[in-house]
Amino acid sequence: MQLKEQSIFNHSGNKIVTEDRDISIIAKFEEPMIAILGNVLSHEECDELIQLSKEHMNRSKIGTEREVSGIRTSSGAFLPETENGVDARIEKRVAQIMNVPANHGEGLHILNYKPGEEYKAHLDYFKSSKANHNPRISTLVMYLNDVEEGGETYFPHLKLSITPQKGMAVYFEYFYQDPAINELTLHGGAPVITGDKWAATIWVRRKQYR
């Protein structure tokens, strides 16, 4: 039998006890490690992140992107960092879930999809040598609302899809020795059919990033 590669998601049992919240491990796919997590954010935190990102997007268009390539038709923005706001608290909790120090993360990236908008299948790591000195190693996508219809996060190679539910998240990682395992993390956000979708993504680097 082939030896399993090491994961940094080293949690056993059915929950992750963080400083301020118990996260439930609902399901795991072992290789590549993909974990469906419950109770990651309170409903109040979800609402607050949506509100903050709306204010930020209204105040200035700087930091908001809408990709012209058609890969991502949703709009997204990194939340500006605060000292002790909701974002700092969540990043601290996420660091304990992802088992990587908070300053390896790129910050909270908020995504909003309207009906018909999607994020086509992609890899979160960079194929070019540009970021080789400090590559992305893992991702957490947190759902900030329930989507009426559509908007699933899907992994086409694994035939796996996750329905967004407010406060839940999906974790995955892609730093394996075997590139074929990393490529299995190809994923996308399916088109939203009814309602809209809000999500917050954290991409984590191997070394300190901020």
- Our CB check for ligand AKG shows the closer of 32 and 189 to be 189
- State yes or no: residue 45 binds Fe ion (CB under 5 A): no
Do the Cβ atoms of 189 and 153 come closer than 8 Å? yes
- State yes or no: residue 185 binds ligand AKG (CB under 6 A): no
The 10 Å Cβ neighbour count of residue 134 is: 12
Instruction: Identify the DSSP state of 105.
Output: B
Of residues 137, 104, 119, 127, the one with CA closest to residue 33: 137
From first CA to last CA, the distance across the chain in angstroms is: 41
Of residues 134, 144, 136, the one with CA closest to residue 90: 144
The item of Fe ion, ligand AKG, none sharing an interface with residue 73, based on CB under 5 to 8 Å by kind, is none
- Our CB check for Fe ion shows the closer of 90 and 125 to be 125
CB of 3 to ligand AKG, least distance (A): 29
- State yes or no: residue 167 binds ligand AKG (CB under 6 A): no
- State yes or no: residue 136 binds ligand AKG (CB under 6 A): no
SS3 call for 89: helix
- State yes or no: residue 153 binds ligand AKG (CB under 6 A): yes
- State yes or no: residue 200 binds ligand AKG (CB under 6 A): no
Do the Cβ atoms of 97 and 39 come closer than 8 Å? no
Among 117, 118, 124, 173, binds Fe ion (CB under 5 A): 124
- State yes or no: residue 94 binds ligand AKG (CB under 6 A): no
The 10 Å Cβ neighbour count of residue 128 is: 6
User: Can you give the binding site for ligand AKG, defined by CB under 6 A?
Assistant: 111, 119, 124, 139, 141, 153, 187, 189, 199, 201
